[in-house]
Amino acid sequence: MQPFTLKCHRPGATAAVSAFFVLSRGHQTGRPAFTPNVNCYVFTCAPQDLTGYYWLVYTLWYSRRFEILLRGTCIEFARIEEVRQLIAENARHIDHMQQVEGTLQKLQALENNFKKQLELIALARRSLLKTG
């Protein structure tokens, strides 16, 4: 595993090919994405380590490990140094992430499929109940 960098994202700036974004504010703090959000950090690493780090951050977010880092009363946020430290402390689990990566991707695809089906059911319900 090669080292990574975590920096504040500037809107309009282009990110490296081997980078993803980590949300830094709100209740979804720590959620990784490949498209930038308004308040996010840019996580850059070696191209061969990108998927491992992505799923590591996803696991930390999904297991709510970023919640202990939240500061602020009105708009909660996580400090960049604390996020960097949390990811670095858990980087030793990347080997395990690479073993279960295929399963995690299948679960993500299944979840997306269920969300689409629920949207279609809601649309059908609205169409059925619509009076006009």
Query: What pTM, to 2 d.p., does this model score?
Result: 0.81
Given pLDDT bands bounded at 50, 70 and 90, which one contains residue 59? very high
Q: Bridge-partner residues for 19, per DSSP? A: 44
Instruction: Give one DSSP letter per residue of 24-84, joined into a string.
Output: -BSTTTT-EESS--SSEEEEE--GGGHHHHHHHHHHHHHTTTTGGGEE-SSS-EE-HHHHH
pLDDT at 1: 64
